[in-house]
Structure 1
Amino acid sequence: MNIDRIPDVRPNTPEAQVTVKLCGNVIEIRYMRSIPTAVIEKVNADLYVDKRTGEVKEFRHTANRSDSKNSVSQSLRKLRDLINANLTEPEKALWVTLTYRENMRDTKRLYEDFRRFWTRFRYYLVKYGHPTAEYITAAEPQARGAWHLHCLFLFPEKAPFIPNAAVAHIWGHGFTKTKSLQGIDNPGLYLTAYLGDMELSEALRTGSIRGQIAGVSTTDEQGKNQKKAIVKGARLRLYPPGFNLYRSSRGVKRPKIWQTTEAEAQAIVNSAPLTYEKTIAVTNEAGEVKNIINYRQYNSASKEGGRLDATQKTISPEDT
């Protein structure tokens, strides 16, 4: 099977069946049309004919379509949805990075160290009168083989101020960093980008330069904007096969998924702006189109439609 991007195809009737996935402020609608009679005819690997109009158009190929990193991409999409389902108010969360002093490569130790950290962290919260929290944590591999953890701590009210020195003491293995998520309207997409993308300088050192190069704006320790070049998806190849790259506590909510009509889906969307849309054609080895799938994403927290701006990572939901 081959997957190629084509011009957007939406449901042609309000009664058409779609799948809705609700992840906090983010609403995703998927429409799939099985093709009894193909509406496009493949000319070659790059071109097809739209039989409805007679136009010859160019496929937008999906990179690394048979690469083993696809399973990691799927895990990141699930993680993105999990974060969005739980983080609708950024002021109720802390985003903490836990690193090691040494080049720590043992994944079993990684999660055992976090288990012990979480026990001590909960004790700290109780000791200082802070509310209890839930967590979502994800592991990130470095090109040199080292691991570190990104942790999202979710509170039932405004997150307490916890000095970074206190977090580092509780962790006890190296440097820690706490970041604000204020102003991020799609935190799942923003945070999972860290786990898939790699800065161009690191990618060049390791030879992991396959993938689209994009520019992003970040904020340094002094609050100044910095521009960086990243290679999208370059880090995905560093995850070992079968590795569970994220974990969460029991109280974390799961995304809601159900089938309904296009009309009912649009009633749920209401005035939320469209932030992303993609349509793909699934073809067999003979070039026959079997399915056309349209993905749309709406975000009630977004002030404007369209793709995310550079300050929120220049990637699309399907790139991770």
Structure 2
Amino acid sequence: MRSVPAAIVEKVSAELYVDKRTGEVKEFRHAENRADSKASVAQSLRKLRDLINTNLAEPENALWVTLTYAENMRDAKRLYEDFRRFWQRFRYYLDKHEYPPAEYITAAEPQGRGAWHLHCLFLFPEKAPFIPNADMARIWGYGFTKTKSLQGIDNPGLYLTAYLGDMELSEALRTGNTKGQIAEAEITDAQGKRQKKAIIKGARLRLYPPGFNLYRASRGVKRPEIWQITEAEAQALIHGAPLTYEKTVAITDEAGAIKNIINYRQYNCASKEGGQLDTTEKAIPPENP
């Protein structure tokens, strides 16, 4: 849906607004799910990627754990309440075993059948302790758990968020969520092997309720720093660090004319700077190229 500019509308109620150009009273179109607000979702996923990359300089200092329900649990409110209780038990477990305290970043993911599970990144100030899966499952208490290694992942933020919006074609066909563009993506299986699989882009977004927070983080998690600097200054900071992600977006007006081009690039400076560096270059093309 193309949004109406705020300057030419006046809100009357939660359901109605006045179009000042014509004086007509019209109804707001409310999003049925997160797929109806793609710009908001894209922004949420980018913030989550930046948050992960800011805090995950050393993969060995983190545990990547998936918390899954044994039942077909579809209650989004219960999801985070269950995690709150789990987090209390997990902190007690760490303290009891004299392990260092941890921070967390969690991302909620609905399965094709509608059941929720949580992906959790537990961040430690030093090498993460080994926690047997049986212990983790007992602390969780609602079903199953799985812990994966993040060693060798150049862009953990991109790796850990890639599947939150998309859905493997096999899962989509099995659950009837087949609306969307089919593409090919590289998937890492439970054994850590990478293989190419067909996906449907954005299919999972339709399973998120409108306004739902895709991710949450504890207070001690560092927030990304944003600087406005020149391209030359950014390149000086990067200083030969490998490029791990690049995307170019064209901004157009209602007639389809390009008004701006935004180039997003992300470099892994973890070995030098202790974190990831995300640079953005904006270039306005000439009116008569």
> Which residue number in structure 1 is paired with residue 62 of structure 2?
93
* 8 Å contact kept, 2:177–2:203: no
* SS of residue matched to 1:184: coil
1:208 matches 2:178? yes
Q: Deviations over 1:187-206 (max 9, x none)?
A: 11000013122111111231
Give 1:225 deviation, angstroms. 5.9
- Code of the aligned partner of 1:208: T
Identity among equivalent positions (%) equals 79
1 CA distance for matches of 2:120 and 2:62? 10
Counterpart CA distance in 2 for 1:259 and 1:184 is: 28
- CA drift of 1:265 comes to 1.1
Higher relative contact order (CA 8 A, sep 6+): 1
Matches within 5 A, 1:124-135: 124-135=93-104
Report the counterpart of residue 34 of structure 1 in structure 2. Answer: none
Give 2:85's match in structure 1, choosing from 108, 112, 116.
116
Query: TM-score normalised to the size of structure 1?
Result: 0.69
Bigger shift: residues 269-278 or 72-81: 269-278
Residue in 2 that maps onto 1:55? none
CA contact (8 A) 1:134 1:153 kept: yes
**In 2, distance between residues paired with 1:291 and 1:226?**
36
Query: Which one-letter code corresponds to 2:252 in the other structure?
Result: T
- Quote the offset at 1:301 in angstroms: 5.2
Say whether 1:269 aligns with 2:238.
yes
CA distance in structure 1 between the partners assigned to 2:170 and 2:58 by the alignment: 34
Q: Secondary structure at the match of 2:130?
A: coil
Q: Which moved more, 1:94-103 or 1:202-211?
A: 202-211
Q: 1:268 to 1:211 in 2, by over 3 A?
A: same
> 2: distance between equivalents of 1:195 and 1:229?
15
Shift of 1:168: 0.3
Which aligned pairs between 1:34-73 and structure 2 lie closer than 5 A? Answer: 67-73=36-42
Whether the 8 Å CA contact 2:184–2:196 is kept in 1: the answer is: no
- Does the CA contact (< 8 Å) of 2:183 and 2:200 recur in 1? yes
Structure 1 alignment gaps of length 5 or more? 3-65, 303-320
Q: CA RMSD in A?
A: 2.3
Distance in 2 (CA, whole Å) between partners of 1:189 and 1:67 is 22
Shift of 1:224: 5.9
Kindly tell me the number of residue pairs found equivalent between the two proteins.
Answer: 239
Counterpart for residue 136 of structure 1: 105
Tell whether 2:150 aligns with 1:181. yes
- Whether the aligned pair in 2 keeps the contact of 1:216 and 1:230 (CA below 8 Å) is no
Q: Determine helix, strand or coil for the equivalent of 1:160.
A: coil
* CA spacing shift, 1:67–1:224, aligned 2, 3 Å: closer
Alpha-carbon distance between aligned partners in 1 of 2:201 and 2:260, rounded to the nearest angstrom: 27
Q: What are the Cα deviations for residues 1-39 of structure 1, in whole angstroms up to 9, with x where unaligned?
A: 99xxxxxxxxxxxxxxxxxxxxxxxxxxxxxxxxxxxxx
CA distance in 1: counterparts of 2:201 and 2:258, whole angstroms: 28
Q: What is the alpha-carbon distance in structure 2 between the residues aligned to residue 281 and residue 72 of structure 1?
A: 18
Report deviation, 1:281. Answer: 2.8
Is the alpha carbon distance of 1:78 and 1:287 closer, same or farther for their aligned partners in structure 2, counting shifts above 3 Å? same
Which residue, 221, 224, 231 being the options, matches 1:255?
224
Tell me the distance in 2 between the aligned counterparts of 1:79 and 1:248: 10
Q: Which residue is 2:22 aligned to?
A: none
Q: Distance in 1 between matches of 2:72 and 2:150?
A: 28
Counterpart code for 2:49: R
In structure 1, what is the Cα distance between the partners aligned to 2:189 and 2:48?
24
Q: Tell me by how many angstroms 1:235 deviates.
A: 1.1
Indicate how the Cα distance of structure 1 residues 93 and 79 shifts in structure 2: closer, same or farther if over 3 A, else same: same
Q: Deviations over 1:28-83 (max 9, x none)?
A: xxxxxxxxxxxxxxxxxxxxxxxxxxxxxxxxxxxxxx942332222111111100
1:200–1:209 CA contact under 8 A, matched in 2 = no
- Name the CA distance, whole Å, in 1 between partners of 2:268 and 2:241: 6
| Residues 1:69 and 1:240: Cα distance change in structure 2 (over 3 Å) | farther
The answer to whether the 8 A contact 2:48-2:215 is kept is yes
- Alpha-carbon displacement from aligned partner over 1:213-264 (angstroms, at most 9, x marks no partner): 214242435x666654332332122111100111110000011101112221
